[in-house]
Amino acid sequence: MIISSWNINSVRIRTDHIKNYLKKEKIDILLLQEIKCQTDQFPQEFFRNLGYYCYVNGQKSYNGVAIISKNKLDKIDIDSFKDPKNQSRFISTSVIIKDKLTQLICIYLPNGNPMGTEKYSYKIKWLKNFLRYIEQLYKKKKNIIIGGDFNVIPEEKDVKNPEDWVNDALYTLEIRKEFRKILNIGFKDTFRLFNNESEQYTFWDYQHGSWKKNKGLRIDHFLVSQKLLDDIKNIQIDKYLRGKIKPSDHAPIKITF
């Protein structure tokens, strides 16, 4: 099974990239963030024609998440996690990973910038709410996958110039501590199990020649609970998609079980 996560930065204007990606990489489940449309405006027919089912938690103009799957999924959940602002940043379902019933969660965590504003306070509250949610879920279900755009740079090697980011909401010590609290429940940042090199990024800003200079960030992650780790075959960043014409500013991250 191949599961990919991609902040698509507006799903309706990236359909060609999505179509080619699903076909080339043989994706079974695609987690999308920042779809930027309401649920009833999501391009359902486009995905149905490709042989995929769609499950969407949309929002007008901003945010929004979705799960795209080759197989029909049951128990779609958009309500059990309470967003502090009732924004569309969470969707979850159940899947089978090697005979193990597994909770698959797609999130789009708030950016939090600029610092010292209500946006940063919202991000902190969101993280604390999510931590409580995952703690309770983990007590009931030991097999959990959390994928999405976390808007968190975990370590120095996950950003080109870390000294430039110490006062940014993606990299403050407070934010990284909250991220580690989620890991400490019983999760691994799975990309680092397979690749421990620096300059491995999932996001490059549209400005300042960031893509050509490889001045990026690793902010899209798959966190996987301990009991599923032995089932992971590989995880990689499909960086080539960032180099396409009119791309998302994120590249997909793909995990294979």
Please state the rounded mean pLDDT for residues 108-132.
98
Q: Give the β-pairing of 29-33 and 187-189.
A: unpaired
Calculate the dihedral angle through the C-alpha atoms of 123, 125, 129, 131, rounding to the nearest 10 degrees: 70
Question: SS3 for 25?
Answer: helix
**Confidence class for position 132, pLDDT limits 50, 70, 90:** very high
Where does the pLDDT of residue 60 fall: very low under 50, low under 70, confident under 90, or very high at 90 and above?
very high
pLDDT digits (tens, 9 = 90+) for 1-41: 999 999 999 999 999 999 999 999 999 999 999 999 999 99
| Residues 158, 212: Cα–Cα separation, whole Å | 17
pTM of the model: 0.98
CA distances from 256 to 68, 143, 168, 203 (A): 16, 16, 32, 21
CB 69 within 8 A of CB 29: yes
Q: What is the CATH number of the domain that holds 101?
A: 3.60.10.10
Taking only Cα atoms into account, the Rg of the chain, rounded to an integer number of angstroms, comes to 17
Buried b (16+ CB within 10 A) or exposed e, 11-47: beebeebbeebbeebebbbbbbbbbbbebeebbeeeb
- For residue 32, the enclosing domain spans 2-256
Q: What is the pLDDT of residues 197-218, one digit of tens each?
A: 999 999 999 999 999 999 999 9
Instruction: Give the pLDDT confidence score for residue 148 in this predicted structure.
Output: 98
Calpha distance 233→257 (Å, rounded): 5
pLDDT number for residue 232: 98
- The tally of domains found in the chain comes to 1
Across the range 131-148, mean pLDDT stands at 97
Q: What is the pLDDT of residues 174-205, one digit of tens each?
A: 999 999 999 999 999 999 999 999 999 999 99
For the chain, the helix, strand and coil percentages under 3-state DSSP, each to the nearest 5: 30, 25, 45
What is the helix (H) or strand (E) element at residue 179, kind and residue range?
A: helix 173-186
Name the nearest CA neighbour of 92 among 83, 103, 102, 82: 103
CB 56 within 8 A of CB 35: yes
pLDDT at residue 226, as a whole number:
96
pLDDT tens-digit profile of 222-234? 999 999 999 999 9
What is the predicted pLDDT for the residue at 165? Answer: 96
Q: Check residue 119 and give its pLDDT.
A: 98
